[in-house]
Structure 1
Amino acid sequence: MSKNQDKSETFPDRSRIHLQADCENCFGLCCAALPFAASSDFAIDKNAGQPCPNLQSDFRCGVHTSLRELGFRGCTVYDCFGAGQKVSQVTFGGQDWRQAPDTAKPMFEVFPIMRQLHELLWYLKEALTLQPAQPIHGELSLALEETERLTYLSPDSLMELDVAEHRAYVNSLLLRTSELVRAEARYQHEASPRRKKNYGRGADLIGAKLGGADLKGANLRGAYLIAADLKGADLRVADLIGADFRDADLSGADLTDSIFLTQAQLNAAKGDADTKLPSSLTRPTHWTSFGA
């Protein structure tokens, strides 16, 4: 997952270590709280609040090492950004839902809310490492502090929280961050200017043939890149927040310095040893077999 990536002396605490999933300190919340439907990602149907049959009494997954082979690819893609251990150990003070059944329903309801807040923390901490966004670092820092504060609310207060409103507020800052970062990238390479297409949120690029494409500094926020051919594409300084990379081929692509990319997006994609990644993310283990 992520590594400590301290880049700013003005805002020295840039560690995202607490935004990594720590299953040892979580009560299997992603395996119990969330629903999934039988599909290419999941072998069975499961309702929200219904523990997965593979969840063991110690809250560990009984088939963790064989999830993809058994049809649970979706489990290998999901990332809670550390929300699981936060809800388990902080919000509910270490009470697990099996020993304290009354906590099950509120815990399961709070978990997806906390996950959204932790995802925003991930993006905000990254934004504060980006020097071109220095003009709005003050606003970003305040948003980070407020988001952190919200993660420590009581279960009842979290369930009453208007997460959509807070996400919209943070997203406006992340969009400004993106514009500042990508504008500087364009300025630095204006000797050979090429206007980057602004695909925009929700662009339909499913199955698109973009092998070797120059997408440096492109806006791919929320783009549907499912099964897209991105082999050898230049995605440096591209805004990839929310882009859907399911089964996209990133073999040989350059994603160094791309912004707002997450481990979950990489886990959903295909790639190889030649795919260049940001230092804060790791190469998915299943890429080895794909690139072989």
Structure 2
Amino acid sequence: MSGHEDTRDALRGDCANCFGLCCVALPFSASADFAVDKPAGTPCTNLREDSRCGIHTRLRDRGFSGCTVYDCFGAGQKVSQVTFGGRDWRRDPGTARRMFAAFPVVRHLHELLWYLTEALTLPSARDLRGETRRLLDETERLTLLSPDELAVLDVPAHRRTVGDLLLRTSALARAEVPGANGRKKDRRGADLMGARLKGADLRGATLRGAYLIAADLTGADLRRADLLGADLRDARLAGADLTGALFLTQPQIDAARGDARTVLPGTLTRPAHWEC
């Protein structure tokens, strides 16, 4: 197994080694994604004493589809087992407030680690590998800070630094796609909610931060498209080709609607709720 694969394994949620932090630390509001309101720091009523979800296999049926598209990128087990040394907030209530505050910070950092790990695998960005490796190591170091240090960490500033590098990485990767640098391919932050993009040629397009909620991308060609932060909730990806799509994550795929013909990057898995 390569070092990059080892890193990605550590950036996948391991609920068995987490104290249910996403079910406690984070708030949610009654909506199409969540059946009830829950304030931050309050355990979800479905969370059991063993830190497992009592309705895990029925989340969508019970109105908690938002839980099925959430990924902590391994931050839950990092905070539970490393930052707090395996101390359960239930048995050590004094840790609860600081643990719940540390979790979202580490989650942000772990998401950046996912992107930086991907950037290291792109042959077209080989000239940036030294800088990428240094920034990846720095981000990993930040995840190991104490709870008090995490509480005052300027995460937005670090995200901007990483974001600048990822923009340059993306440009190099997409430059290999014919016509990808054309203006029509730059749709950063675009409002494409419900857009009719069936069969669209979006190879090498910049869709970073685009709103693609409920967009029809059936059969679209998204090879080498930059999808960092794109909102794919209910986007129709049946038959779409996402080979080599840049900075695409499992939560984005889980929130979309695809089928057996949808081609995904090898690092992602086909959601069980997708059509056969």
Q: Give the shorter-chain TM-score range.
A: over 0.9
- In structure 2, the gaps of 5 or more residues are none
The TM-score normalised by the length of structure 2 is: 0.97
Q: Distance in 2 between matches of 1:265 and 1:197?
A: 20
Identity of aligned residues (%): 65
How far apart are residue 196 of structure 1 and its match? 4.3
Quote the residue 2:121 is aligned against: 129
Quote the residue 2:224 is aligned against: 237
What one-letter code is carried by the residue in structure 1 that aligns with 2:48?
A: Q
What one-letter code is carried by the residue in structure 2 that aligns with 1:55?
A: L
Instruction: Count the aligned residue pairs.
Output: 275
How far apart are residue 185 of structure 1 and its match? 2.0
1:152-210 CA-partner distances (Å, limit 9, x unpaired): 10000011100000000000000000000001223xx79xx97642011x210000000
How big is the alpha-carbon RMSD for the aligned residues of Structure 1 and Structure 2? 1.4
What one-letter code is carried by the residue in structure 1 that aligns with 2:9?
A: I
Quote the residue 1:20 is aligned against: 12
Quote the residue 2:51 is aligned against: 59
How far apart are residue 276 of structure 1 and its match? 0.3
What one-letter code is carried by the residue in structure 1 that aligns with 2:42?
A: Q
Work out whether residues 33 and 50 of structure 1, in 8 Å CA contact, stay in contact via their aligned partners in 2.
yes
1:15-66 CA-partner distances (Å, limit 9, x unpaired): 3100000000000000000000000000000000000000000000000000
Query: 1:130-209 maps to which residues of 2 (within 5 A)?
Result: 130-186=122-178, 196-200=184-188, 202-209=189-196
Which of 237, 240, 253 aligns to 1:250? It is 237
Q: Distance in 2 between matches of 1:196 and 1:126?
A: 26
Q: Distance in 2 between matches of 1:216 and 1:48?
A: 40
Select the structure with the greater relative contact order (CA < 8 A; seq sep ≥ 6): 1
How far apart are residue 113 of structure 1 and its match? 0.2
Quote the residue 1:226 is aligned against: 213
- In structure 1, the gaps of 5 or more residues are 7-11
The TM-score normalised by the length of structure 1 is: 0.92
Quote the residue 1:286 is aligned against: 273
Quote the residue 2:75 is aligned against: 83
Work out whether residues 14 and 129 of structure 1, in 8 Å CA contact, stay in contact via their aligned partners in 2.
no
1:255-292 CA-partner distances (Å, limit 9, x unpaired): 011010000000000000000000000000000xxx35
Q: Distance in 2 between matches of 1:27 and 1:194?
A: 48
Which of 254, 257, 266 aligns to 1:267? It is 254
How far apart are residue 130 of structure 1 and its match? 0.2
